[in-house]
Amino acid sequence: MESQSQVSTRKRHDVIVIGGGSAGYAAARTARDAGADVAIVDQGPLGGFCILRGCMPTKAILRSAEVVFTDPQVAVLGLNETCAKAGEISYLTASYPFVDHGKALCLGATQGFAKLLAASQTGEILGAQIVGPEAGELIHELIAVMYYHGTVADLLRMPHYHPTLAEIVTYPAESIVERLGA
Ligand SMILES: Cc1cc2nc3c(=O)[nH]c(=O)nc-3n(C[C@H](O)[C@H](O)[C@H](O)COP(=O)(O)OP(=O)(O)OC[C@H]3O[C@@H](n4cnc5c(N)ncnc54)[C@H](O)[C@@H]3O)c2cc1C
């Protein structure tokens, strides 16, 4: 297999594979191993759904999420401060306590906090820790935002019903947005 610039200068191939996803790549490699002169044609970056959006990114995010069904519940996702420091990743973080959160006060479940960790330049959410009521449910919003490479600003723009436990994540998000790029 050859680079795009090399391919564009050639006129003939034994096999031309349309689509450089898992299937196309495997087919091209098999043909190449059989001695064929192969070209892959793709309209986007090579890798297809599996590499770029499906299997690997989703599995990586899921593997980095854990929930412990204690009382209060504990839910963690992605990077924590220790990992970010070890990886020399520049980050901003903020947390907000349930004891200052209206719905938690109504429920009498005020132990714990919601904490976010975001890239210091872009605000992309890199991790979260929630300790408190329904933490195992609340973490799923952050899993979804992280899956789409969302930022703390995205989280702030997304409507959150009031009064709900879910809206607690907007408070640390707001605090980080105010410090972004500073
Ligand atoms: C969230 C999610 C999780 C998944 N997890 C797993 C998993 O754990 N294990 C697993 O086995 N499978 C998983 N899958 C399924 C897996 O992603 C797909 O089965 C696999 O990507 C299919 O490969 P493909 O090459 O047929 O198609 P694709 O990966 O979609 O590749 C198609 C390629 O063709 C290109 N293309 C399309 N139209 C044209 C055109 N007209 N001209 C040129 N190029 C074109 C595209 O740009 C793309 O690169 C998951 C899927 C999703 C959505």
Contact 42, 24 (CB under 8 A): yes
Does residue 118 lie in a domain region? yes
> Domain total for the chain?
2
Question: pLDDT at position 88, please?
Answer: 83
Pairing relation of β-strands 73-78 and 65-68? Answer: antiparallel
Does residue 59 lie in a domain region? no
Residue type, 5: S
Binding site membership of 50 for ligand 1 (Cβ less than 6 Å) = yes
> Are 27 and 93 found together in one domain?
no
> Are 46 and 68 found together in one domain?
no
Residue located nearest, by CA, to atom 26 of ligand 1: 23
- Mean pLDDT, to the nearest integer, of 48-56? 84
Binding site membership of 58 for ligand 1 (Cβ less than 6 Å) = yes
Find the 125 Cα to ligand 1 centroid distance in Å: 25
Cα separation, 27 vs 32, whole angstroms: 9
Binding site membership of 59 for ligand 1 (Cβ less than 6 Å) = yes
Cα separation, 158 vs 179, whole angstroms: 19
Question: pLDDT at position 83, please?
Answer: 85
Does residue 113 lie in a domain region? yes
> Are 124 and 86 found together in one domain?
yes
Choose one of 52, 75, 92: the last residue of a domain. 52
pLDDT tens sequence across 126-135: 999 999 999 9
Q: Residue 146 maps to which CATH number?
A: 3.30.390.30
Find the 59 Cα to ligand 1 centroid distance in Å: 15
> Are 17 and 75 found together in one domain?
no
Q: In which band, very low, low, confident or very high, does the pLDDT at 9 lie, cut at 50, 70 and 90?
A: low
Q: Could you give the angle at the alpha carbon of 104 between the alpha carbons of 102 and 110, nearest 5°? A: 120
Binding site membership of 44 for ligand 1 (Cβ less than 6 Å) = yes
pLDDT tens sequence across 134-181: 999 999 999 999 988 899 999 999 999 999 999 999 999 999 999 997
162 is catalytic: yes
> Are 155 and 134 found together in one domain?
yes
- Mean pLDDT, to the nearest integer, of 57-79? 88
> How large a percentage of the chain has pLDDT more than 90?
75
> Are 41 and 117 found together in one domain?
no
Residue type, 89: I
> Are 97 and 39 found together in one domain?
no
> Are 43 and 77 found together in one domain?
no
Does residue 57 lie in a domain region? no
Q: Count of H helices and E strands in the chain?
A: 9, 7
Find the 17 Cα to ligand 1 centroid distance in Å: 14
Q: For residue 24, give its domain range.
A: 4-52
Does residue 58 lie in a domain region? no
Does residue 89 lie in a domain region? yes
Question: pLDDT at position 30, please?
Answer: 97
